[in-house]
Amino acid sequence: MRIPLLLASLVALSGATRPPNKSCKAHPSNADWPSADDWARLNKALDGRLIKPTPPAAACHPGQPGHDPKRCAEVKKAWETTEFHCGNPVSVLLDQFTNYTCLPDAAYPCTGDGYPAYVINATTARHIKLGVDFARQKNVRLVVKGTGHDYLGRSVAPGALSIWTHNLKDITYHPGKFRLSGSKKEIRGNAITLGAGVQMYEAYAAADKHKQAVVGGHGTTVGIVGYITGAGHSPLGPRYGMAADNVLEMVVVTPGGKIVAVNEDQNRDLFWAMRGGGGSTFGVVVSVTLRTHPTPQVTGAGFIAFTDPKHHTIKDELLAYLSSQVPVLMDKGLSGYVFLSAGMSLPDGTTVPGVPPTFAGAFGTVLVQDAADREAAIMRAFKPLNDTIQERWPGKVNLIVLPKHYNTFWEWHKENHDAGRGGGSTYVASRMLAGDELKGNNTKFMSALKEVFKANERFDIFMVGGKGVANARPRGGSDAVNPAWRKAAVMGMSRVFFPPFNKTAEKDAIKLMNDAFEPMRQLDRRSGSYMNEAFVFEKNWQQSFWGDNYPRLLKIKRAVDPANALWCQTCVGSEGWAQKQDGQLCRVDGRD
């Protein structure tokens, strides 16, 4: 829910405080908010690492600290990048989750009301512990931000204490074996320990120095912890499973303030839950140790199959055919990302000779690992597609495939990663799909696809499931990864956009996304959604995000966090609380 801007301004101007509400977390507008002396003592204990944040776009607003027109121009430009939001203590990827309280535009108001009240710039486990203990003891709302690269708004909250783990950047490589903390057990194979602030590109680069690769995502600035705790799909997944399946150990600060190692020999419930059960829920991660794999040689390709959108019959036939070929390409060893459209333009700044400004069909980036004949392997995989296209739609449909060989996975990622965009207002929805839903006579899928196109001109298909995910053997025997992943070949995703400060448009966008995506859900009601790229208003989200794992996850959450020190929307155990219009987090289950 949004904080009414007029109400927020009146409260700020009056300086009024309300009596404490025992059923709510302490809030800056309430009398139970910690005193200035309390915050000063915390800052001293933290060696001066407590930040009272300035709104990220303050440079664009007269009267705000740091107002600077020259700096504002830089912020406006950077606002559309993921790097800006990742590197700021409070800023997050999508504007709606901060209630638009400070956009880089002087035409809009700017306050800090949508952001945390204080931030701990954590660089040690001790810093995290101090923050967790303070929030629990003072009943202050607690959030955790690594990068803010989040589609569900889980790493920001108004009037909260935020633990910013971005600068926990330690990386240690373990050649040959890894010994579990608190145990004599040694796990054979190479491993790497990553601090909670390590981002995807840093993990890839570090592993590559040792001719290794980690199972990681396509976005270069994504934080390793949020990604892994949500399960973590990857173009290496069809070979090595989900990122969570490759975790050997984590170091965690529990909601009770204990610094513990979690692995298959100790704190087993936490070890199970934190691999797929979601971040900011069961504890704050300090570091994670992953199994590494010999880096594959990669042959990648950008491709596009296109026709004129005005050729309505051909367009529909082409989309049906291309969709049916995705699992076929995966059976040939390809993974990657395919984007379907009934009519769209190439991404900004992208030109391909022979491709019209607007087209219907599919484009994407794919790869094959350790193919002896390199580029020929890619061309051989696409040859049946090209043969069919030339036979069925001669002169009306074209296929372009541009293969390139890379010596390591890191080299491929550097050239082909998803740079992403920051800022703006977007909701996404996703669904895991089995290959059978795409193959052959896929009329039900095509019917669902046409509905999805009502929300957005593009539908993404991530070729990240299959045998490696289905047959994964995580340490300890299992983890909390959504069971739907084990049956999925691909993940499909769509998104909807809407303008800022327009509640009607946002409400319409939410309804459009929910309604347009429902036929995709109906393809297999037993499947689910990927919690890191999910619709924040997903109905029955417990089942959709975790399936039959949810009851056990909820039991663990209640055991390790009885005081509800950690809370985020659509996270395990969040049902008993809700954020009110004024930003307060309060119980809705009738308990004090």
Counts for the chain of helices (H) and strands (E), in that order: 17, 22
- Residue 17: band (very low, low, confident or very high) from pLDDT cuts 50, 70, 90: low
Number of domain units in the chain: 2
Tell me, yes or no, whether 27 lies in a domain. Answer: yes
Mean pLDDT of 263-288: 98
Rounded CA-CA distance 370/366 in Å is 14
- pLDDT for residue 271: 99
H/E stretch holding 324 = helix 312-331
Rounded CA-CA distance 147/221 in Å is 8
Tell me, yes or no, whether 567 lies in a domain. Answer: no
pLDDT over 60 at 1, yes or no: no
Query: Which residue, 322, 525, 497, is CA-closest to 426?
Result: 497
With tokens 């952001």, the residue in question is 115
- Answer for the pair 530, 432: CB distance below 8 angstroms, yes or no: yes
H/E stretch holding 365 = strand 358-369
- Residue 8: band (very low, low, confident or very high) from pLDDT cuts 50, 70, 90: very low
Tell me, yes or no, whether 332 lies in a domain. Answer: yes
Tell me, yes or no, whether 345 lies in a domain. Answer: yes
Rounded CA-CA distance 144/154 in Å is 8
Tell me, yes or no, whether 81 lies in a domain. Answer: yes
Query: Which residue, 264, 217, 219, is CA-closest to 473?
Result: 264
With tokens 């709510």, the residue in question is 24
CATH number at residue 81: 3.30.43.10
Tell which of 109, 138, 162 closes a domain.
162
Mean pLDDT computed over every residue of the chain = 95
Tell me, yes or no, whether 324 lies in a domain. Answer: yes
Tell which of 162, 196, 222 closes a domain.
162
Tell me, yes or no, whether 468 lies in a domain. Answer: yes
For residue 116, the one-letter residue type is: P
Starting from the edge strand earliest in sequence, which strands make up the sheet with 171-174, in order? 171-174, 191-195, 284-291, 247-253, 259-262
CATH number at residue 352: 3.40.462.20
For the record, the structure tokens of 297 come out as 């040689």
Q: Distance between the two ends of the chain, CA-based, in angstroms?
A: 22
Tell me, yes or no, whether 153 lies in a domain. Answer: yes
For the record, the structure tokens of 422 come out as 């920051």
Q: Residue 548 — φ and ψ, nearest 5°?
A: -70, -5
Pairwise pLDDT comparison (11 vs 401), residue with the higher score: 401
- pLDDT for residue 511: 98
Rounded CA-CA distance 58/65 in Å is 6
43-75 pLDDT, tens per residue? 999 999 999 999 999 999 999 999 999 999 999
Rounded CA-CA distance 421/553 in Å is 33
- Residue 14: band (very low, low, confident or very high) from pLDDT cuts 50, 70, 90: very low
Q: Which domain holds residue 393?
A: 298-531
Query: Which residue, 164, 141, 162, 126, is CA-closest to 258?
Result: 126
Mean pLDDT of 157-184: 98
DSSP string, 232-295: ---TTHHHH--GGGGEEEEEEE-TTS-EEEESSSSSHHHHHHTTTS-SSSS-EEEEEEEE-EEP
Rounded CA-CA distance 452/458 in Å is 8
Tell which of 116, 137, 162 closes a domain.
162
- pLDDT for residue 16: 52
Query: Per DSSP, what are the bridge partners of residue 171?
Result: 194
- Rg of the chain's alpha carbons, rounded to an integer? 24
pTM for this structure?
A: 0.94
324-354 pLDDT, tens per residue? 999 999 999 999 999 999 998 876 777 778 8
210-253 pLDDT, tens per residue? 999 999 999 999 999 999 999 999 999 999 999 999 999 999 99
For the record, the structure tokens of 581 come out as 């219009």
Q: How far is CA 127 from CA 162, 184, 318, 326, 568, in A?
A: 12, 29, 56, 47, 21
Rounded CA-CA distance 164/168 in Å is 9
Q: How far is CA 445 from CA 334, 464, 524, in A?
A: 21, 19, 11
